[in-house]
Structure 1
Amino acid sequence: MRARIADVLSRARRRTTLLTDSVDEADLVAQHSPLMSPLVWDLAHIGNQEELWLVRDVGGREAVRADIDELYDAFKHARSNRPSLPLLNPEQARGYIGSVRDKVLDVLDSSDLTGNELVDNGFAFGMVAQHEQQHDETMLATHQLRIGAPVLSAPPAPVAQVQVGGEIVVPAGEFVMGTSADPWALDNERPAHPVHVEGFAIDVAPVTNEQYLAFIDDGGYDRPELWSERGWAHREEAGLVAPQFWERDGDRWTRMSFGARIPLRPKQPVVHVCWFEAEAYARWAGKRLPTETEWEKAARFDPKTGASRRYPWGEDEPAAHLANLGQRHLEPAEVGAYPAGASATGVHQLIGDVWEWCASGFEPYPDFRAFPYPEYSKVFFGGDYRILRGGSFGTDEVACRATFRNWDHPIRRQIFAGFRLARDLREDER
């Protein structure tokens, strides 16, 4: 256990270092979008959370920098206001997170990893590693919004290995949603509970660039009947005409990808669309977005055993041949690129590539209990959020499993989000 904890902490820090060392000091302190913090704020915030939970709480050690707690409290300062704060400069931030990590490794060496709920099975260390990786994905999104020459590189995402398309029917029945067994699962994933799901059909793959282009070419952004009233109002106010970062170049479309303008790859899942765009596309296609429960059943339920798997492919940890995770590539893979990662129900690429918008809002499971603090989940329940599932190419495996729940406002497009479609069954299919 100690070796695994050290590994996930080290992997997260290597990624944090890559994302912050790849730009100069001006880019580190700049705000590249009012939706995002300056990268240097994320950097020190990562260290501050690590200090609060692992140095002070778990370790009972003296504070490294108690004077900056308020500066890096995400609930006290909106992202748009953070550049005006007296933040640590890049050199100070790097020194701070290094000092914190040294103390954390001492705490890890001396902790029994048992004795109370916070440390049992290394939960607090896993929570902190997930927190850092979540901010790394946020920083990756900031890199996508940054104006300037490319500073990140990665090999192209894989091409299709098999032809995938169409839909799968998932029969009505009960399955176990959520988890009570995963030691590092966060509070909103808990507890495991049985849910009866009516039969439904779900697409085998996410909606692709090629499919989304057909929606655009058919006037999808000019037809209010395809949009909800609120969605159409947002489309008009924001001037939406295509996914974020797309640009028409003569008779073809390109997209901006981390500072480089590239041609669309038709078979890749569409990315950088908001929930309202996904909803309009679904109506155009004569379908709908899946509910969160449907998504998880398609991802986890094994019809042969009746069990709910940790991942679509089973219990094995993610690997390069199973899913596109961990910033291994800087784009989604083509649909059909990971046949070994398909679920027992036959659905592909539910993990990695793009976060998938679901129809559901963010609500607690039955018997939910906030742990270890209400600000992680509880304060967001019932707000204007829509569920996202499955992770993206920018999500690390430690923060991605088939029970993991993400959420955001339905207007957000800077996140690495796409979608797949579902529909109710006809009478003759039930």
Structure 2
Amino acid sequence: MLNADRTDPAVLREAIAAELQTARDRTAALTDCVDDRDLTAQHSPLMSPLVWDLAHVGNQEELWLLRNVGGHDPMRPEIDPLYDAFEHPRAERPSLPLLPPDEARRYAHEVRGRVFDLLEASPLEGAPLLDAGFAFGMIAQHEQQHDETMLITHQLRQGAAVLAAPPPPAAADRLPAEVVVPAGPFIMGTDTEPWALDNERPAHQVDLPAFRLDTAPVTNAAYQEFIADGGYLDPRWWTAEGWAHRMQAGLSAPLFWSRDGGQWLRRRFGTVEPVPPDEPVLHVSWYEADAYARWAGRRLPTEAEWEKAARYDPATERSRRYPWGDQEPSAEHANLGQRHLQPAPVGSYPAGAAPCGARQLIGDVWEWTASDFLPYPGFTAWPYKEYSEVFFGPEYKVLRGGSFAVAPVACRGTFRNWDYPVRRQIFSGFRTARDAEDA
């Protein structure tokens, strides 16, 4: 959330309106750049048609803000089942009687107009969904999460490039290979972040031994060494499940990579280009990240290790909101918000460094961790169990830190993402760790 005075309703309303508008502007940019055929097509069975996401964000906004907060009657109750994410798998959604693109836009626009009226009249206090504007913040985050999903769909889409953005800044300096995170307790999770989601809560103490962590995410060049050394051909580096998946899926390189003679190429949003050696590797599954780490004689960090590296400040013995402190992310801190359409080279964003010295913990690429997605001690599902609770278990692995596709409103030091270990279409990379006594 913007650095708003949460005690001043007028300031808070302005901040909420700005976040909602930023999300809607991005939604429009991702859907107005293609024709109706592209909007209604399913570019991958892993993803919904773009037109489904377009109406879904409006439907969720109506459900939570107009109906639950405002007490309004449903605008179009007959479409609720079409846009319930649990009602129909993504592969089935193209066959549903979805709203056509223009109608989906009109619906979302009408919902937003009523929401702005509701925001203007809301006291932003007096009920859990209203305190600090939580429900409005939840919806802003929800839309931005679907914007990232739509950007993934754009990456899977075949055809000419329709998106453009300037390249990220050049790396500032060379980095040491790893940093040391000292032993001891720290506070994981949050009780104070106003728009934190249920799986980020409650705050709790975790005591960890010292460990060493890569200063930056693993690069394309380093990952190419794994490939060249036969990493995809040697079952020693893979879990049994990972090796079975590698064989079944025929994995031999990150998704969207191809070989042209002696050069690796990648397809990025409709453009084929050489793989940049100094960027974080992107579009790898958890199984691939884990195999690389084993090959390198290291391991993936646990979720707790990742969060301690990203948040803990030994000088103050407190956990920060972000690696650099408590202030909101800026263009100097991290690569977020689709400002660029690719990760920045490792060594970028020195202003975003954590107290331990690690860089790029926020933005650039989602980072796989070794941990299953599980509730924190004392977890309570709120405001609905389908956001987190139904996903808890060993089937999902946790990712941390966000990517270049994540908006600042939906990214912070406590934010938790999760996915199946086979997933590669997401903007996922990783960094590795090792125990301190392994030095």
**Shorter-normalised TM-score: what interval?**
over 0.9
- What amino acid does structure 2 have at the position aligned with 1:251? G
Match of 2:18, SS state, is helix
CA distance in 1, matches of 2:243, 2:406: 30
Alpha-carbon deviation of 1:64? 1.5
How many positions carry a matched residue from both structures? 428
Alpha-carbon deviation of 1:257? 0.3
Contact map agreement 1:165 1:205 (CA 8 A) in 2:
no
1:162 counterpart residue number: 173
TM-score when normalising by structure 1 = 0.99
Structure 2 gaps, min length 5: 1-11
Residue 370 of structure 1 pairs with residue 407 of structure 2:
no
Residue among 56, 65, 74 paired with 1:45: 56
CA distance in 1, matches of 2:176, 2:411: 24
Q: Deviations over 1:89-124 (max 9, x none)?
A: 001100100010011001000100001111100000
1:221 counterpart residue number: 232
- What amino acid does structure 1 have at the position aligned with 2:370? A
Residue 313 of structure 1 pairs with residue 342 of structure 2:
no
TM-score when normalising by structure 2 = 0.97
Match of 2:371, SS state, is coil
Match of 2:105, SS state, is helix
Q: Deviations over 1:12-35 (max 9, x none)?
A: 000000000011000000000000
Return structure 1 stretches of 4+ with deviation > 4 angstroms: none
Percent identity between the two aligned chains: 65
Residue 13 of structure 1 pairs with residue 28 of structure 2:
no
Q: Deviations over 1:104-146 (max 9, x none)?
A: 0010001000011111000000000000000000000000000
Residue among 293, 309, 312 paired with 1:298: 309
Residue 93 of structure 1 pairs with residue 104 of structure 2:
yes
1:34 counterpart residue number: 45
2:210 counterpart residue number: 199
1:275 counterpart residue number: 286
Structure 1 gaps, min length 5: none
Residue among 377, 384, 397 paired with 1:386: 397
Coordinate RMSD, CA, aligned: 0.7
CA distance in 1, matches of 2:29, 2:333: 24
1:69 counterpart residue number: 80
1:422 counterpart residue number: 433
1:350 counterpart residue number: 361
The correspondence of residues 210-249 of structure 1 with structure 2, limited to 5 A, is 210-249=221-260
Alpha-carbon deviation of 1:62? 2.3
Alpha-carbon deviation of 1:426? 1.4
Contact map agreement 1:299 1:343 (CA 8 A) in 2:
yes
1:250 counterpart residue number: 261
Residue among 326, 342, 356 paired with 1:331: 342
CA distance in 2, matches of 1:46, 1:263: 36
Alpha-carbon deviation of 1:165? 3.5
- What amino acid does structure 2 have at the position aligned with 1:394? A
CA distance in 2, matches of 1:64, 1:383: 39
Match of 1:360, SS state, is strand
CA distance in 1, matches of 2:15, 2:325: 20
Q: Deviations over 1:159-201 (max 9, x none)?
A: 1111123111112100000000000000000011111011111
CA distance in 1, matches of 2:83, 2:130: 24
- What amino acid does structure 2 have at the position aligned with 1:195? V
- What amino acid does structure 1 have at the position aligned with 2:32? D
Q: Deviations over 1:283-332 (max 9, x none)?
A: 00000000000000000000111010000000110000110000000000
CA distance in 2, matches of 1:150, 1:171: 46
Alpha-carbon deviation of 1:383? 4.4
Alpha-carbon deviation of 1:61? 1.6
Alpha-carbon deviation of 1:363? 0.3
1:122 counterpart residue number: 133
CA distance in 2, matches of 1:43, 1:182: 28
- What amino acid does structure 2 have at the position aligned with 1:86? P
Match of 2:309, SS state, is helix
CA distance in 2, matches of 1:79, 1:199: 42
Match of 2:370, SS state, is coil
